Amino acid sequence: MTPRTVVHVADMEIHRHTGMGRISHHWREAFRERGWQFLEIGAKETGPVPHRALWHHFAWNAFRALKLRPSAVLVHEPASGIFTGRGFPVALFSHGIEERGRRVMAPILRARREEQPPPLPARLKSLLTRPLWARRAAQCATGLRRADLLLLSNTEDREFAMREYGRSAAAITVFKNGVYPPSLPPPDPASTKEPTVLFLGTWNPRKGAFTLIEAARLLRHEGRRPRYLLAGTQVPAAEILAQWPEALRASVEVIPSFAPEREAEILARATLFVLPSLVEGQPLVLLQAMAQGLCCITTDCCGQRDLIRQRENGLLHPLADAAGLARQLAWALDQPEEALRLGEQASTDMATRTWPAVGHEMVDHLEALTLLSSRP
């Protein structure tokens, strides 16, 4: 019997130590365990492209070279449009619908640019590449309108797809991401270690870096002075520290990069975790911090809203609201026992979110889609 075949199309490397790559890695494992043939079209299969906004054309050519009719194509949103309407089932997966993210971020970043305008070369580059990014946006829109199944990472994206692209609830599934079991003990209630606020991720405006800095300044003005651990920033420490008020720099530690096996160690150093992102899908780092038993403070949007219940298993603050973030941090710093309680509940909530479990849920969705498409 010929195994069912799924072709995974995404401009990424499938690898358990990256973000989106980690998710697809566990999907691949689950498909293979269930007897599927899992084929990949990624950057290695397409080779170099002149601009990433044109990658979908190269992906389509690589797909045609396979000369097969797959049971289903599992395609990342930016490459999806060209694969629809070809006579085989297409499941579009998104880690945050790009157009929704653009609409959220544009006014916030525009206001910041008015305060700190980018240099002329950056403005010229943006102007010249705008037509290319428009082509990428068109790919996303076509795929979101026409794919047989939308696999989205949060309920805000689901509502956006229904409203903006005319999709029915039946054509949309909000998938789950998983966690690795904590390899270190949870926070110790009797610990006397200095309060440490952990930010784990790329240091950029989308992740709310400016919100955290302003919240830290407000906390210091109120007399609260925790330490700040910024890890995995991908930006040199000196460049980040220059953005912080001079009076706070001594309390900030920056780890620009670290080996994947050190993630648990870094989480264990923290007493609180913050993720003030403007836009997310369903952030893996938040899930892992919850699994570790940390009290997590994050924005009231996107996948965070699906995961965090206010003062039940974490804390939420309004989007781009430094004063709101400062209030939640102050509450957690002033009530460490309550913060521990929230972390314990978060860890309990993550107990069933193992990667094998959520991977097999993904296979279930594709099997239902292929069964539906095979009906006369």
In this predicted model, what pLDDT tens digit does every residue of 250-287 receive, in sequence order?
999 999 999 988 999 999 999 999 999 999 999 999 99
How would you class 304 by CB atoms within 10 Å of its CB: exposed for 0-12, middle for 13-18, buried for 19 or more? buried
Query: Worst-scoring range by mean pLDDT, 62-76, 176-190, 194-208, 312-326?
Result: 176-190
Joined together, the tokens standing for residue 363 give 């296979």
Instruction: Compute the distance between CA of residue 228 and CA of residue 243 in angstroms, rounded to an integer.
Output: 14
The 10s digit of each residue's pLDDT in 187-220 is 776 666 789 999 999 999 999 999 999 999 999 9
Indicate whether 376 pLDDT > 60: no
Q: Where are the alpha helices (DSSP H) in 77-228?
A: 98-115, 120-146, 155-165, 209-221
pTM of the model: 0.93
Digit-coded pLDDT (tens) for 161-183 = 999 999 999 999 999 999 999 87
Rounded to the nearest integer, the mean pLDDT of the chain is 93
pLDDT, mean of residues 21-39:
97
pLDDT greater at residue 103 or residue 115: 103
Go through the domains of the chain in sequence order and give each one's CATH number: 5-177+354-373 (3.40.50.2000), 196-349 (3.40.50.2000)
The confidence score (pLDDT) of residue 187 equals 74
pLDDT at 191: 67
CA distances in angstroms from 267 to 50, 69, 263, 287, listed in the order given: 39, 45, 6, 12
Q: For residue 311, what are its two tokens?
A: 């003062």
pLDDT category, 114, cuts 50, 70, 90? low
Q: What's residue 203's pLDDT? A: 96
